[in-house]
A = this chain, B = another copy of it.
Amino acid sequence: MNLKVRLPVFVLVMEVVMIALYAVFVTYDDNANAKMQNNETNPMDNSVYRDYPFFADVQVMIFIGFGCLLAFFRYYGFSGMVFNFLTATFTIQWAILIQGFFQFYHDGKIYLGVVNLVNAEFACAVVLISFGAVLGKTGPVQLLVLALLEVPIFSVTEWVVLKYIRINDAGGSILIHLFACYFGLGVTFVLYRPGLSKGHAKEITSYHSDILSVMGTLFLWVFWPSFNSALTLKGDDQHRAILHTFIGLCSSTITAFALSAVFNKRGKLTMADIQNVTLAGGVTVGASVDMMISPVAAYCLGIMGCTACFFGYRYLSPFLARHMKIQDQCGIHNLHGLTGLISSTAGICAILLATEETYGPSMYQIFAHRAPPEGDPRLLELQMQIPGLKPGLGRSAQEQALYQLAAIFSTIAAATVGGLITGFVMKLPFMASPSDGDCFDDELFFDMPSDFNMIPFFKLLSQSAVFQIFHA
C-alpha cells in the first residue's frame, strides 16, 4: 500500500527532474571527451586509469559491503540489503548533479568523469552511514527523501569546508564520518519511537544473517585502504594512506576481539562487535592518513579508535537511547562519531607536528594551504624543487590547526541541523513511516518466499511443550 503510489511517484518525479538537469548541464570532462583527444594525447595517461581501480573498490564497499552488513537482522535481510541498493543508486545519480554544481561546474556545464563518480560514492557513503541510525524503522520513500535532502546539505558543507575553510582530511573523517554520524543522529532524534524504547521482538539476528553481516564487514575491511586513499594526492601520499589504513585496521581488529571476550559475561565473543568494532581503525586513521605520522601511530590510532568504539556501544549508545531520545540503531555514533573525533584530533596533532625536516619540500603539497601565497619569493624557491607546486595561503601549522577545528565544529553543526530538518520532513504523515509493530520486518515491503512465514512458527514451536520434550 505504502509503496504502490508513493515510491513510483517519487521516482518518476525525480527522473524527470534529473533528465532535465542532466540534459542541460552534464557533459563529458576533458578526459572523457573524444574531441579533446589529439595527436599529443596518450590514451594510457587518461585519468580513468588513475581513478577507476579505486572507484571499483569503493563500489564493492558501497553495494556489497554495506549491503551485507546492513542485512544483519533476522527478519530484515531483504530490506537491509535491498534498500541499501536502492538508496545508493539514487544517491549517486543525485550526487553527480549536486556535487557537480559545487565542484565540477564552469562555463554553465558540469564536467563528468570517473573522478566525479568517486566523489558521488563518497556522498553515498555519507547517506548510507546516516541510514544506519534509522535502519529497520524507515520505509524506502523515507530513505529516498533522506538522500534527497542529505546530499545537498552535505555538498554545501563539503564545498564551504574545502573551498573556504580549507582543511586536510584525506580519509574523510571530518567530512564523511562526522557529518554522516551527526546528520543521522539528528534524523533519529526526530524519529524517536518511545514504543521501541524497550526493544522489539524482531530486533534479533539469525545464524545466517550474522554470517552474511560478517561477510559485509570483511568486504569493507578489505577495500577500506582504497576508500581512504581514493582522493589523496597520487604517489607517496596514496602509498602511505594505504599503509596506515591497513595497519590501523589490523590493530583495531585484534583489539576488538580482546575487548569482546573480556567484557562478555561468559567470556564469549559477540558477533556484533566483530561486525562493527573491528572496522573502527579504518575511520580513526582517516584525517591523518596521508601524513608522515609513522606506522606506529597508525597502529596506536587503530587501538584507540577501537576501544572508544567498543565502549561507546556498551555504555554510550544505551545512555543516548534512554536519556536523550537518540535511538541509534547500528551505533553509528560509535563507529563513525567517536572514531571521527579521535581521528580529527589526531589530524590536528599531525598538522602541528609536521616539519620540513620530516616531509621535505613536499610538505607544501600535502599541506597545500601552508604553501607560500602567490608572489612570495619562498614560493619560487620551492617551485624549483617541486615544479608543479601551487601557491597556497601561507598558513602556519597553528593556523591550519585552528581551521581544522573550525571545520570540525561547523561540520557537526551543519550536520546536526540538517539532520533535524530532514528528520522532520521524514516524519510528515504522507511519508508513511512503518508502525512500531511493523519495524524490522521485511513482510511490510516485500512479497516473501513461503519459508519466511515458518520462522516465527519455529520460534513458537521451540518454546512449546513438544520442543521441550524433544530437546530434553
Q: A63-B222, A236-B33 are in contact. Are A261 and B4 (CB under 8 A)?
A: yes
Q: Which of A89, A242, A292 has the most CB of B within 10 A?
A: A89
Tell me the minimal C-beta distance from A457 to chain B in angstroms.
6
Residue of B nearest to A46 (CB): B235
Residues of B within 8 A of A269 (CB): 3, 82, 445-447
Digit string of A251-293 for contact with B (CB within 8 Å is 1, else 0)? 1011101110110101111110010001000000000000010
Contact A81 B15 (CB under 8 A): no
Residue of B nearest to A272 (CB): B447
A37 lies within 8 A of chain B by Cβ:
yes
A402 lies within 8 A of chain B by Cβ:
no
Interchain CA distance A5-B63 in the complex, whole Å: 38
Contact B34 A292 (CB under 8 A): yes
Segment at the interface with B among A54-62, A130-138, A418-426:
A54-62
Interchain CA distance A49-B204 in the complex, whole Å: 43
- How many residues of chain A have a CB within 8 Å of chain B? 154
Q: A63-B222, A222-B56 are in contact. Are A89 and B253 (CB under 8 A)?
A: yes
A218 lies within 8 A of chain B by Cβ:
yes
Interchain CA distance A71-B215 in the complex, whole Å: 11
Q: A37-B360, A57-B56 are in contact. Are A15 and B451 (CB under 8 A)?
A: no
Contact B447 A458 (CB under 8 A): no
- Residue in B4, B44, B52, B363 whose CB lies within 8 Å of A242: B52
Q: A36-B236, A78-B210 are in contact. Are A11 and B268 (CB under 8 A)?
A: no
Interchain CA distance A456-B471 in the complex, whole Å: 8
Residue of B nearest to A59 (CB): B222
Contact B46 A11 (CB under 8 A): no
Residue of B nearest to A462 (CB): B454
A237 lies within 8 A of chain B by Cβ:
yes
Tell me the minimal C-beta distance from A84 to chain B in angstroms.
9
A333 lies within 8 A of chain B by Cβ:
no
Residues of B within 8 A of A292 (CB): 28, 33-35
Residues of B within 8 A of A219 (CB): 64
Residues of B within 8 A of A209 (CB): 449
Tell me the minimal C-beta distance from A116 to chain B in angstroms.
9
- Given A22-B296, A78-B210, A85-B274: 12 more A-B contacts, CB < 8 Å: A4-B266, A18-B251, A31-B239, A32-B239, A46-B234, A67-B214, A67-B218, A114-B243, A268-B447, A271-B446, A456-B471, A457-B470
